[in-house]
């Protein structure tokens, strides 16, 4: 069951689009810290402060364009902490003088927006368009391009980066035989109309982005972006990574820039509102099995006012999801309580704990 849970949740995260994707842009995960100090306590304190500063830098790479980032002041740990709503720590290791861990930092969208406005900097607002991403890879100039091949490292990296950045809903192609037949590599690069329309129809998407990444040994990597049916602005359609000694790092650099370019070139959210003003909230659900999550998901979807429950991330013991609803939040909380679930509000998250299922009586 644990293996099945991991596979099902992993697939769902990659295949799900989501109208509230922009909310995820303010969560920065996977920040590794490794600090030595005079004592374990001091090492931990310094590591947590450094980790939040690093998360802030990564956040800016998502929500602020390159030219504007250079205009922002450097922030110390205290100033960064004022923008953080909460953080969590995993994979902790400590000795008497060393502390190692991985941080996930949740920033407050309204505080971040106010800070940027005060410095005259605009924010990348994300897009309502659901995008199919096709990552075409060329290992070196003159090499044949790869799209659906298992040896293509770029397509999954691009998709994972887009999903994790949360700036627009992503429809990740299955990459099965039908995809390969309908959209061979040459038709993808040519933005063949029939092939692109087939993709849009199959995945219910609004746009297709074809991202051609080419490694140039000793020089870095080059990226060309094409969009169907509406072209990207020329200023967003081509860029290079100067990282010359590490192809994997160069591709990671290109993926981050590609996601920003796609978000900037897409349709802005219809509501025009920032996170915190929309009818969407983040929930955490403790689970012991896949059956627990399925039961909670079905129950929440049936509540009055609930429009969608969108899976965001999962571990064996907990699920993170976005709950989209209309109406009053307190009324929603009361409705959740009426079906027997407990709700605890923790720094911007609702922790929804399902009631235990009644025991099945033994057969007589």
Strands 280-286 and 306-314: unpaired
pLDDT score at 348: 61
Share of the chain above pLDDT 70, in %: 85
pLDDT score at 80: 96
* Distance (Å, whole) CA 267 – CA 286: 35
Reported as a single tens digit per residue, the pLDDT across 81-130 is: 999 988 999 889 999 999 999 898 988 888 888 898 888 887 776 677 88
* Distance (Å, whole) CA 24 – CA 41: 31
* Distance (Å, whole) CA 19 – CA 308: 9
What is the DSSP secondary structure assignment for residue 21, as one 8-state letter?
A: G
pLDDT score at 193: 97
pLDDT score at 322: 82
Strands 280-286 and 349-353: parallel
Decide if 148 contacts 287 (C-beta within 8 A): no
Helix (H) or strand (E) holding 97: none
> Both tokens of residue 364?
């007589």
Integer Rg of the chain from CA: 22
Q: Please say if the pLDDT value at position 3 is more than 60.
A: no
Cα first-last separation, the chain: 29
Strands 84-94 and 27-36: unpaired
Decide if 261 contacts 236 (C-beta within 8 A): yes
Share of the chain above pLDDT 90, in %: 35
Q: What are 320's strand-pairing partners?
A: 284, 313
User: Virtual CA dihedral for 243, 249, 255, 261, nearest 10 degrees?
Assistant: -30
Reported as a single tens digit per residue, the pLDDT across 196-213 is: 999 999 998 899 999 999
303 vs 67, which has greater pLDDT?
A: 303
Reported for 290-297, long-range contacts at CB under 8 A and 24+ positions apart, including other chains, are: 290/1, 290/4, 290/5, 290/8, 292/354, 293/9, 293/319, 295/354, 295/357, 296/341, 296/352, 296/354, 297/321
Decide if 116 contacts 57 (C-beta within 8 A): no
pLDDT band at 6 (very low <50, low <70, confident <90, very high): very low
pLDDT score at 271: 40
What is the DSSP secondary structure assignment for residue 274, as one 8-state letter?
A: P
pLDDT score at 7: 31
Mean pLDDT for 134-141 is: 96
Mean pLDDT for 233-262 is: 84
Reported as a single tens digit per residue, the pLDDT across 285-344 is: 998 888 888 888 888 988 877 878 888 777 788 888 888 777 667 778 888 888 889 988
* Distance (Å, whole) CA 354 – CA 298: 12
Q: Please say if the pLDDT value at position 131 is more than 90.
A: yes
pLDDT score at 335: 84
Neighbours of 103 (CB within 10 A): 22
> Both tokens of residue 259?
């996601």
> Both tokens of residue 1?
């069951």
Reported as a single tens digit per residue, the pLDDT across 9-24 is: 333 333 333 333 444 5
pLDDT score at 323: 84
Reported as a single tens digit per residue, the pLDDT across 30-57 is: 788 999 999 999 999 999 999 999 999 8
Q: Please say if the pLDDT value at position 166 is more than 60.
A: yes
């Amino acid at each position: 069951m644990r293996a099945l849970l991991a596979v099902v949740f992993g697939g769902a995260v990659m295949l799900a689009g989501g109208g509230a994707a922009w909310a995820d842009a303010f969560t920065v995960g996977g920040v590794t810290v490794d600090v030595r100090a005079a004592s374990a306590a001091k090492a931990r304190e310094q590591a947590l402060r450094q980790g939040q500063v690093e998360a802030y830098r990564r956040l800016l790479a998502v929500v602020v364009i390159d030219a504007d980032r250079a205009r922002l002041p450097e922030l110390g740990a205290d100033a960064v902490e004022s923008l953080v709503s909460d953080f969590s720590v995993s994979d902790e290791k400590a000795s008497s003088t060393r502390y190692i861990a991985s941080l996930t930092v949740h920033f407050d969208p309204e505080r971040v927006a106010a800070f940027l406005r005060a410095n005259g900097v605009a924010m990348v607002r994300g897009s309502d368009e659901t995008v199919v991403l096709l990552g075409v890879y060329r290992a070196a100039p003159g090499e044949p391009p790869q799209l659906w091949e298992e040896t293509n490292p770029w397509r999954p990296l691009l998709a994972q980066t887009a999903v994790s950045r949360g700036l627009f809903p992503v429809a990740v192609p299955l990459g099965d035989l039908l995809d390969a037949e309908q959209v061979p590599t040459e038709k993808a690069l040519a933005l063949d109309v029939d092939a692109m329309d087939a993709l849009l129809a199959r995945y219910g998407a609004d746009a297709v982005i074809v991202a051609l990444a080419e490694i140039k040994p000793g020089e870095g990597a080059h990226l060309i972006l094409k969009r169907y049916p509406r072209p990207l602005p020329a200023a967003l359609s081509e860029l290079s990574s100067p990282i010359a000694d590490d192809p994997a790092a160069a591709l990671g650099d290109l993926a981050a820039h590609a996601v920003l370019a796609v978000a900037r070139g897409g349709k802005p959210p219809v509501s025009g509102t920032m996170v915190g003003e929309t009818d969407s909230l983040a929930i955490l659900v403790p689970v012991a099995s896949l059956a627990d999550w399925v039961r909670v998901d079905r129950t929440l979807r049936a509540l009055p006012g609930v429009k969608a429950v969108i899976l965001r991330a999962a571990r064996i013991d907990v699920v993170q999801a976005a709950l989209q609803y209309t109406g009053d939040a307190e009324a929603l909380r009361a409705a959740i309580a009426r079906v027997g679930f407990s709700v605890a509000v923790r720094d911007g998250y609702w922790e929804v704990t399902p009631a235990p299922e009644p025991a099945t009586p033994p057969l007589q």
